[in-house]
Structure 1
């Protein structure tokens, strides 16, 4: 890529420490409970949302790996209640700290997710007035969910589309994608929408939106900060929503202006982009004292966003198999990696039964050189995990009898 101003060469050990520090798993020492959620959310810069409530949801699991004294549903409830952030596209569907709203607004006003344009065209054919009817209803009586709109008899025309079976559902999604509506809060994970002016504080609405060039740059800089190490090659998923910035000339310009650092890591084929102050951050990571805890990592944790980097840097192959047919799964339905220090030591497939207060560990796989679930550090982490879930007991898989 030609001459690079900030070029760093790291060992795998250095890169792993940096990676952990960048995503808040090393050296942060967040407070407990709500105060910790506030600080952790701000530090993360984004929280990828997912609806599946297996052991809490993935975003709950991201928080519990970093903050003690939390429980499922608390983080997103707090984010909305205290207006710490908003829901919109980042890597994919995320909760994003409010400071980034002006950046997101530029994306909203340029059409949001392009796929929604197709949805809007279809909706206007099926129910031409639905968008304005639903917007006016929310403006008059919001916050509203699809349930209240159904009770009002609004937008009930049939709509066969992804995640929507009525015009009202589709209209809420499209108006949200455009930035005209925002998610006000959730009840039992159901989204309640209101007009944006009643959700986003005025100070953030008043900030001038970013220009297209600023948007491209600032979304890329944000992604690099959020993930720590962004591989230049491969890994389409970790570049989601910032692929327009995946341009050699554009990246070279940012490197030349010292707005990004170029990092080469031994044993990792692709060079990575890192924040401009990566060298200083590495020094902080090296001086951080590991807490010795085993951490259960969410399927959508920023630590595991880049699967290829995970394999090459961490020697850990991870695939979330929740959407695979059972016969095709290698490890299980909802598998959480386990990290101790700078190593992945195990992975387990679990499910929590809230009514019975029981966590069932369907399988526990020790990594080569890793730790069994009977190791004291793993046992303590399962005890903490049960407290996070609000449960009473854990069932581990029966030991196989030796022949």
Structure 2
């Protein structure tokens, strides 16, 4: 049983998310550690997948590195709204083959068996294709769900994707290009049964988190890693033994601006318990109810969240407009300098000016 202070637990979490002072420089290596790089088009600064990588690498990050890793090298693949390392694919396939579990989804697939066959045949003959290039010949329609319209091709491709029969071969702008999974995913992947795959997935989730509650629905890790307690907390935790090396390194921290969809922020209960940060994304709040801004980026300083960056790129004038840096507690001189330096790095990466603010 490892007995940790809250400071130690935070350092483990920050190191696991590659947000230390020593920056990584390899997109695939980052994906291997994090497990998933969220995709989202909201681009007040830049789309989430790119901001997440910039937060780790800094201005040396080139967006072409991500597209190369996904579309040319095939070392990353897109699934369920995130780019993931191919090493995770064989661990995910057993669950994909069991999908769907919901009866209504099974009934829709059964009712549209002819439509399913036609979509697969079209991809085999002509793929890769955009959804709009595939005719909608569904016999039974699913009602619009607020995220997708009435085109049933989108639903069928999503279902086939979750079953591992089709895959995203690349993107045309923000639109996905679809193809048969056998032409996108590597051949001869290792096979795992359900139990072994879940055990290995739990280990990878804990690797990305560093430390997580043993029975967390946000970061399910099962019995991966080793047991731990945290001073002043009654919950049982699991810690990645390799992440404990963070406690041996007493390096300096740095400022990091995190996309609202950064994996560091996903486990909201852990964020409150370890970092005392009650994060709320204000994107979907009415403007009068926003405190920090539509898509404000949390500011991590070392192992503490210290404020929020409200900024937006102005492409017409090639500027990054900083509306506000909200300080939870007044910054000292060094903290101001670190935040200013990170804003300058952000402007350099975006290749825009940063007016005085």
Shared fold, TM over 0.5: yes
Determine which of 237, 251, 256 is the counterpart of 1:295: 256
1:223 correspondence with 2:237? no
Query: Residues of 2 paired with 1:185 and 1:41: CA distance?
Result: 17
Query: Residues of 1 paired with 2:232 and 2:265: CA distance?
Result: 18
Name the CA shift for 1:267/1:63 in 2 (closer, same or farther; >3 Å): farther
Matches within 5 A, 1:2-401: 7-26=1-20, 29-31=23-25, 36-68=26-58, 69-71=60-62, 75-76=66-67, 78-89=69-80, 93-111=81-99, 114=101, 118-119=104-105, 121-122=107-108, 125=111, 127-149=112-134, 153-155=135-137, 159-162=142-145, 163-204=148-189, 207-208=190-191, 210-232=192-214, 236=217, 238-239=218-219, 242=220, 251=222, 254=223, 259-275=224-240, 277-278=241-242, 281-287=243-249, 289-290=251-252, 292-370=253-331, 375-394=336-355, 396=357
Query: Residues of 1 paired with 2:163 and 2:113: CA distance?
Result: 17
TM-score, reference length from structure 2: 0.88
1:91-116: per-residue Cα shift (whole Å, max 9, x none)? xx32211111111111111115x45x
Contact 1:17 1:286 in 2 (8 A): no
Query: Residues of 1 paired with 2:235 and 2:262: CA distance?
Result: 21
Query: Residues of 1 paired with 2:48 and 2:234: CA distance?
Result: 29
Equivalent residue pairs, number: 353
Structure 1: runs of 5+ lacking an equivalent: 1-6, 246-250, 397-403
Name the CA shift for 1:324/1:269 in 2 (closer, same or farther; >3 Å): farther
Query: Residues of 2 paired with 1:60 and 1:345: CA distance?
Result: 23
RMSD over aligned CA atoms reads 2.7
1:58-114: per-residue Cα shift (whole Å, max 9, x none)? 22221111112125575255323321121224xxx32211111111111111115x4
Query: Residues of 1 paired with 2:74 and 2:24: CA distance?
Result: 20
Query: Residues of 2 paired with 1:73 and 1:156: CA distance?
Result: 37
Query: Residues of 2 paired with 1:46 and 1:188: CA distance?
Result: 21
Name the CA shift for 1:374/1:263 in 2 (closer, same or farther; >3 Å): closer
TM-score, reference length from structure 1: 0.79
1:17-41: per-residue Cα shift (whole Å, max 9, x none)? 111111111265323xxxx222222
Query: Residues of 1 paired with 2:71 and 2:233: CA distance?
Result: 39
What is the Cα deviation at residue 373 of structure 1? 11
Query: Residues of 2 paired with 1:59 and 1:372: CA distance?
Result: 32
Contact 1:172 1:181 in 2 (8 A): yes
Instruction: Extract structure 1 runs of 4+ deviating beyond 6 A.
Output: none
